Amino acid sequence: MVLYSTTAAWSPITSHNMHVLVTGAAGLIGGRIMVALLQQGHRVTATDINPIPAATEGQIQGYVDNLVFVAGDLTDFKLVDRLFESGTIDGVAHIGGIRSPLGLDPRFVHNLNVTASYNVLQTAAAKGVTRIVQASSCNALGLSWTQPEHWQLDFVPINETHPMRPVSVPTVWDALTSRKTPIVCQSCKSIRQHSR
Ligand SMILES: NC(=O)c1ccc[n+]([C@@H]2O[C@H](COP(=O)([O-])OP(=O)(O)OC[C@H]3O[C@@H](n4cnc5c(N)ncnc54)[C@H](O)[C@@H]3O)[C@@H](O)[C@H]2O)c1
């Protein structure tokens, strides 16, 4: 998980009534983040290319007044503009994308994940959003989708300071988005990077 905030030391969101954009809200991690934020009293704009699954719907029924769901594709930057058009987004949890590249054309995975992340992060920075959480992955270090005998770890336990090593084609996008995010956020000077 890579965190970005305006403060030198990351502090958890403790105030209520924040408005958080959650991408990938129909997915495993995004869905849980959406539910947790609603349970803590925050407002959520949730988005996904797929509908919220029935199991998650049951958990958000009591919070519909604090939730807006926008269906769409994050590679469409006009859709991404719409997600921010309220002008009230305080923070972004960018979780949407393709988790497993298995069985998919790696060029499709690359185009989708890298473009979607760029669209969300660049738009957030342009809109002055100063708190961003982006899901990274051990894929960026070349761990998943690679046989253990090909792992090259400089140290264990690993953390986010470990050099990225996308040794197989489908892992490249994770490294690319992880590298690109700080560059995008540097364009918004108030955002600093923290890794957890
Ligand atoms: N699940 C894990 O154990 C795990 C571990 C490490 C990192 N991650 C990372 O966390 C992120 C999310 O993982 P997850 O397990 O929640 O995956 P998931 O597949 O459950 O959820 C991803 C969501 O993104 C949505 N999505 C895909 N393409 C989209 C697009 N073009 N526009 C809008 N929405 C789109 C999907 O519909 C899906 O609901 C991934 O980047 C993954 O690499 C996951």
b/e per residue 175-190 (b: at least 16 CB within 10 A) = bbbbebbeebbeebee
The domain limits of the chain are 2-195
In the numeric block, the tokens 């290319």 are attached to: 49
Give the model's pLDDT for residue 179. 54
Residue 37 CA to ligand 1 center (angstroms) comes to 18
Low-confidence ranges of the chain (pLDDT < 70): 1-16, 145, 166-196
Is 74 touching ligand 1 by the criterion CB < 6 Å? yes
Q: Parallel, antiparallel, or unpaired: how do β-strands 91-94 and 19-23 relate? A: parallel
Exposed, middle or buried, 50 (CB in 10 Å: 0-12/13-18/19+)? exposed
pLDDT for 171 equals 58
pLDDT score, position 169: 54
Residue 189's pLDDT is what? 47
183 Cβ closer than 6 Å to some ligand 1 atom: no
Contacts of 30 (CB under 8 A, 6+ apart): 22, 23, 24, 46, 48, 93, 95, 96
Query: Hey, what are 82's tokens?
Result: 């719409």
Q: What is the pLDDT of residue 174?
A: 60
Spell out the residues 6+ positions from residue 90 whose beta carbon is closer than 8 angstroms to its own.
18, 19, 20, 129, 131
Residue 148: predicted pLDDT:
78
Find the 95 Cα to ligand 1 centroid distance in Å: 6
Q: How far apart are CA 90 and CA 92, in angstroms?
A: 7
Structure tokens of 4? 């970005």
Q: What pLDDT does 177 receive?
A: 60
CATH architecture of the region 2-195: 3-Layer(aba) Sandwich (3.40)
CA–centroid distance, 103 to ligand 1, in Å, is 16
> For position 160, what pLDDT does the model report?
72
Which of 182, 143, 176, 183 has the alpha carbon at shortest distance from 159? 143
